[in-house]
Amino acid sequence: MRYEIRVDGMMSDTLAKAFPELDHVVMSGQTVLYGFVVDEAQLYGLLARCQSLGLHVLEMRQVPG
Amino acid sequence: MESSPTPAGHRVDPLGDPFLRTCFALPARPVTFLPRPRLTRHLDQALRTPLTMVNGAAGAGKTLLVADWAAGLARAPAWLTVESEEKRPGMFWAYFLHALRACGSPVSGQVDRPADANRVSRRMLSAIAEDLEGRSPAVTVVLDEYDRVTVPEVAEQLDFVLQHAGQGLRLVLVTRTEPMLSLHRYRAAGALTEIRNADLAFTPEEAAALLGRHGLSLPVATARALVQRTRGWAAGLRLSALAAQHSPDPETYLKEFEAGRSTVADFLLAEVLKRQPTQTQDLLLRVSVLDRLCPDLANALTGRSDADRILSELCGSNAFVEQLGHSWYRLHPLFGEILRAHLRVRCPGLEPELHRRAARWLRGAGSLRGTLTHGAAAGDWEFTAGALVDDLAIGQFFTGLRSDDLARLFSRMDPGAGGPAADLVRAARDLSQSDLDHGTAHLRHAEARFATGTADPATAQLCCALLEALAARLSGSPARAERAAEAADEVQPGVPSHLLDKHPELPALLLTHLGSARVWAGRFEDARVSLSKVVGSPAGASTLLAREESLGHLALIDYLNGWTDRAEHKALEAVSGTEQCGPFGPAGSGIGRVVLAAVAVDRDELARAEALLDEADGQPGALHDPVTAAGRAMVAARLQLARGNTRAAVEAADPAVSADVASPWADSAETLVTSAAHLAEGRGESAAEVLRQLGDGRPACAVEAARIQLAVGNAGAAIDLLDGVPGARPAGPAVTVRASLVRAQAADASGDAVSARRLVAQALHEARRERLRRPFLDAGRWLRPLLVTAPLNQLAAGWLRPGPSPYGPPAGLGGPPWPIVVEELSAREQDVLERLAQMMSTQEIAADLFVSVNTVKTHLKSLYRKLGVNRRSDAARRGRDLQLL
């Protein structure tokens, strides 16, 4: 499953290293983390990680491909 | 501590470790903390509702708010900061109870302590709720970082306790995520106080006041913009204050930050971090791999000696670090995560080295749990395995307390990791899963390394002996087990006594394995010596499983010697310990249930026997040892024989275990079943032929062989067998009753009615107390006429035959005397009986079972006959009495 997680604010490259399994792109005041997610467990883990990094999740969706 | 002696369970958690004191401390508020009366007033409602939830993002200021409120209460609440170890029910409730003790409102000593880290029983939860229910004023319990509880059972259990504790408990959950309690129900009942993220958000006025505490005086307009930018997030405001403090023009600085679009915590943390002195930055990055730290541990990671000063400075300025008390600190969880990301960027590859240093420091400080965690994170397996072995903790692979954790931790072990300790850990892991081949191979590797090494540490040798004894037990090799036990005795004096005190499970497990191997060999008296030592030693969480296994084996010995009642008592004790912890206790071999099933067959409670065997099979991760396998095969075969399924009995009698040496009792059990099956199928010759293979001279065997000999017409051989039974060690009633019946039958056949009657009376007298029905059912047709005539009919009444007994109910475990079910119900009759008990009419039963009304009537008729009743209502009642329903 490919997912993208859109968080508020422009993430620094350093912080993006906290998501080594995902790629990221910064656009118009938001950061999109995207990549392959193995299963739901990993998905929830990623969300929890966003939370513990103080990130504000705006959107999360599965993308085709 | 109390003056009265308390069981060890009060001081240590179910894993046998001391409670982490820092979990129970009310978090200190930093000098810059801003009290917010609107929220503390809101929280005062918590004293009036059973449940309060303070729910907000990381860094929203939840903990400090609740701590501030709690500090102002007239009665100190119980405070528990949940650690990830406590997400398991047993650990959670152990900490919960300890938090009540720590705040001076302990529950009564009558309430059990969780013995198993993974489970608690409903009974214990009821006892806790009952204890709390009587409290006035109510006791308030704060669970901080409740989001770490990810196991649904704990939420369900909390819900249960809260519901049943009535007005005696006020629960405050501080959590990032919404707890899995049925909140809507509390909300609808007005029983919930909620403070959510939006409530926690700082107002512009509060933000201005907070910045003021950091020495920044700002116009409200700036504060308002800052609140907008940070969404009133406490951590964001705090960091912006810290960042602005060091700036020459704080107001302009904050304006620039407001205009930016970077993620708040990320940006601000980097800003604050770069303003710290180099040593401070270095320390913060390095300690980010730790959950909690003290100055000395921090120094071990930095290689300097300035941690004490730096940590107290950081704590004073409320930057990054929180004080836990007892000179321990932790990084604020939010900043810890971000700092780790910085560490990876700034010092790539340093993380494993930091874990390695932490592991070594923690090992020196005596924290095995921390040592293992960091050692594994460092990938330093030789060291990590060495720590486990040197601590003599290898037995924990088998106690059910920490076995899952250890198996998981070491499952990542690099296959190339060398050293005897790593081999021992591999052997323990494999043997705990009954993987004998791999386990033995690793054990041999470890031994080979010992042989080449010069100085063998005694602890490693003792660990090795334990594993060797287990391997010997699993492979049915008594001689090997004896050698392992001797080796253990030899090295034990060299093992530091504090380690032996700390790990009572190791000698207990070793003696259990030795005892089991001796049982296999049929050396019951020797087995009893080692097993009784385990049972006689003080009970504790870590030795629970060894005790149960030992009791189960002792029960088997009693059963095999014919002492049915004694066997049942021990077996019940063996399984009750695990039942306390829920339906699936820590996995032993299931021997206790096998013995209970054997007893049930002797009492002709066949459905119960079958259910017990199923339970014994259903144990996940159960140890596959030959004694249990043979015992199980014996019981299953006897059960099938009792039901008249001779072919199934012969099939079931083969335990299908591969053992190094044969077991006399297991072999003879199989032989006797085979012989009895021949007899039941009318092949007397073959039955007698098979008996010639019998090499076991135990009375139980001789008597059963005599019964078969008599039945096939060899009366002389039968009496010879009985006369040959050694009288030195008296056998139990299950043997003597059968012996009397054989003699009675012989007497009856030879026309000596007086002797036959006397012998049957003797058998009834003995059997009655233990409700031994099976021997009479096996005895054959000759017995029936005797049992219906006085005075024998009175001796049989109430337990063997229907009717009131002039002697009162037979002694035993209490409960109603169960008249015998002469025939088992068929599956269809059972179906009909169940529906009957639900007050269904004959027509309804027919429709429900898709059969005709006439068919149901036929089933009813045979059902009535088998139950000895004439009416539907009596059938249902009798069915209940017989536990068929």
Nearest CA in chain A to B344: A17
Chain A nearest-CA distance from B584, in A, is: 26
Residue B154, SS3? helix
Chain A nearest-CA distance from B343, in A, is: 9
pLDDT band of residue B577 (cuts 50, 70, 90) is low
Which residues from chain B sit within 8 angstroms of residue A7, using beta carbons?
A: 263
pLDDT band of residue B360 (cuts 50, 70, 90) is very high
Compute how many other C-beta atoms are within 10 angstroms of the C-beta atom of residue B409.
Answer: 18
User: How far is the CA of B370 from the CAs of B8, B377, B506, in angstroms?
Assistant: 22, 10, 21
Which residues from chain B sit within 8 angstroms of residue A54, using beta carbons?
A: 57-59, 233, 235-236, 263-266, 334, 338
Residue with tokens 């030899």: B490
- Where is pLDDT greater, at B49 or B700? B49
User: Above 80 in pLDDT, residue B636?
Assistant: yes
What is the reported pLDDT for B377?
92
For residue B708, what are its two tokens?
């078969």
DSSP state of B418: -
Nearest CA in chain A to B348: A17
Task: Let me know: does A16 contact A24? Beta carbons within 8 Å.
Answer: yes
User: Above 70 in pLDDT, residue B402?
Assistant: yes
What is the reported pLDDT for B542?
80
pLDDT tens track for A28-38: 889 999 999 99
What is the reported pLDDT for B100?
93
What is the reported pLDDT for B5?
35
What contacts B691, CB < 8 A, 6 or more positions away? B671, B672, B675, B705, B708, B709
Compute how many other C-beta atoms are within 10 angstroms of the C-beta atom of residue B418.
Answer: 13
CATH architecture of B8-200: 3-Layer(aba) Sandwich (3.40)
Which residues from chain A sit within 8 angstroms of residue B235, using beta carbons?
A: 54
Q: What is the overall mean pLDDT for chain B?
A: 85
Alpha helices by DSSP H, listed for B317-457, are 333-346, 350-364, 368-378, 381-390, 403-411, 420-432, 436-452
pLDDT tens track for B749-766: 888 888 988 999 889 988
d(CA B233, CA B200): 8
Residue range B611-637: average pLDDT? 85
d(CA B125, CA B164): 9
User: How far is the CA of B842 from the CAs of B52, B768, B862, B879, in angstroms?
Assistant: 54, 38, 14, 17
d(CA B847, CA B102): 62
d(CA B3, CA B538): 21
Give strand pairing partners of B5: none
Task: Let me know: does B443 contact B471? Beta carbons within 8 Å.
Answer: yes
- Which of B263, B334, B342 is facing A9, going by the closest CB pair? B263
What is the reported pLDDT for B456?
61
DSSP state of B144: E
pLDDT band of residue B7 (cuts 50, 70, 90) is very low
pLDDT tens track for B44-72: 999 999 999 999 888 888 999 999 999 99
Q: Lowest-confidence range among B107-116, B254-263, B467-476, B577-586? A: B577-586
Nearest CA in chain A to B346: A14
d(CA B44, CA B41): 5
Residue range B484-491: average pLDDT? 93
Q: Is the ipTM of this complex over 0.90?
A: no
Chain A nearest-CA distance from B142, in A, is: 21
What contacts B65, CB < 8 A, 6 or more positions away? B36, B39, B40, B43, B54, B195, B200
What is the reported pLDDT for B533?
94
SS3 for B7-67, per residue? CHHHCECCCCCECCHHHHCCCCCCCCCCCCHHHHHHHHHHHCCCEEEEECCCCCCHHHHHH
Chain B nearest-CA distance from A17, in A, is: 6
- Examine domains B278-348 and B827-881 and report if their fold is the same: yes
Indicate which of A14, A30, A32 best probes the interface with B, i.e. most B CBs within 10 Å of its own CB. A14
pLDDT tens track for B321-340: 888 877 888 888 778 888 88
Which of B81-95, B509-523, B660-674, B718-732 is predicted most confidently? Answer: B509-523
d(CA B149, CA B92): 8
Give strand pairing partners of A63: A2
Judged by CB atoms closer than 8 Å, whether chains meet at A11 and B334 is answered as no
Nearest CA in chain A to B268: A12
Burial zone of B683 (CB within 10 Å; 0-12 exposed, 13-18 middle, 19+ buried): middle
pLDDT band of residue B243 (cuts 50, 70, 90) is confident
Which residues from chain A sit within 8 angstroms of residue B237, using beta carbons?
A: none
Task: Let me know: does B700 contact B731? Beta carbons within 8 Å.
Answer: yes
- Where is pLDDT greater, at B806 or B579? B806
What is the reported pLDDT for B285?
93
Report cis status (omega within 30 of 0) of the bond before B791.
yes
Q: Which of B447, B459, B444, B466 is nearest to B399 (CA)?
A: B466
Which residues from chain B sit within 8 angstroms of residue A25, using beta carbons?
A: none
User: Above 60 in pLDDT, residue B448?
Assistant: yes
User: Above 90 in pLDDT, residue B558?
Assistant: yes
Domain boundaries, chain B: 8-200, 204-262, 278-348, 380-542, 697-820, 827-881
Task: Let me know: does B574 contact B543? Beta carbons within 8 Å.
Answer: no
User: Above 80 in pLDDT, residue B581?
Assistant: no
CATH architecture of B380-542: Alpha Horseshoe (1.25)
Q: Name the percent of chain B lying above pLDDT 70.
A: 93
Chain A nearest-CA distance from B345, in A, is: 6
pLDDT band of residue B9 (cuts 50, 70, 90) is very low
Judged by CB atoms closer than 8 Å, whether chains meet at A11 and B263 is answered as yes
For residue B193, what are its two tokens?
């106080």
Task: Let me know: does A14 contact B270? Beta carbons within 8 Å.
Answer: yes
Secondary element (H or E) of residue A62: strand A57-63
Task: Let me know: does B243 contact B268? Beta carbons within 8 Å.
Answer: yes
d(CA B274, CA B271): 5
CATH architecture of B827-881: Orthogonal Bundle (1.10)
- Where is pLDDT greater, at B91 or B14? B91
User: Above 50 in pLDDT, residue B816?
Assistant: no
User: Above 70 in pLDDT, residue B727?
Assistant: no
Task: Let me know: does B25 contact B324? Beta carbons within 8 Å.
Answer: yes
What is the reported pLDDT for B823?
65
Indicate which of B266, B330, B340 best probes the interface with A, i.e. most A CBs within 10 Å of its own CB. B266
What's the distance, Cα to Cα, between the start and end of chain B in Å?
Answer: 50
From the centroid of its chain, how far is CA B863? Answer: 41
Q: Which of B450, B433, B440, B438 is nearest to B389 (CA)?
A: B450
User: How far is the CA of A52 from the CAs of B51, B57, B130, B564, in angstroms?
Assistant: 25, 8, 37, 60
Interface A:B, Cβ pairs < 8 A: 70
User: Above 70 in pLDDT, residue B453?
Assistant: no
- Where is pLDDT greater, at B701 or B871? B701
Task: Let me know: does B884 contact B823? Beta carbons within 8 Å.
Answer: no
B332 in A contact zone (CB under 8 Å):
no
d(CA B6, CA A49): 42
- The beta-carbon contacts of B670-673 under 8 Å, at least 24 apart in sequence, are B670/B633, B670/B634, B670/B637, B672/B701, B672/B704, B672/B705, B672/B708, B673/B634, B673/B637, B673/B638, B673/B641, B673/B649
d(CA B1, CA B406): 32
DSSP state of B492: G
For residue A4, what are its two tokens?
């993208």
User: Above 50 in pLDDT, residue B585?
Assistant: no
What is the reported pLDDT for B817?
38
Q: Name the percent of chain B lying above pLDDT 90.
A: 34
Interface of B with A in 122-141 (CB under 8 A): none
d(CA B377, CA B291): 13
What is the reported pLDDT for B803?
66
What is the reported pLDDT for B805?
62
Burial zone of B647 (CB within 10 Å; 0-12 exposed, 13-18 middle, 19+ buried): exposed
User: Above 90 in pLDDT, residue A51?
Assistant: no
CATH code for the part of the protein at A2-56+59-63:
3.30.70
Which of B37-41, B291-295, B663-667 is predicted most confidently? Answer: B37-41
What is the reported pLDDT for B88?
83
The highest-level CATH class for domain B278-348 is mainly alpha
Chain B nearest-CA distance from A59, in A, is: 15
Task: Name every residue in A having a CB less than 8 A away from some CB of B.
Answer: 7-15, 17-18, 29, 31, 49, 51-56
What is the reported pLDDT for B41?
94
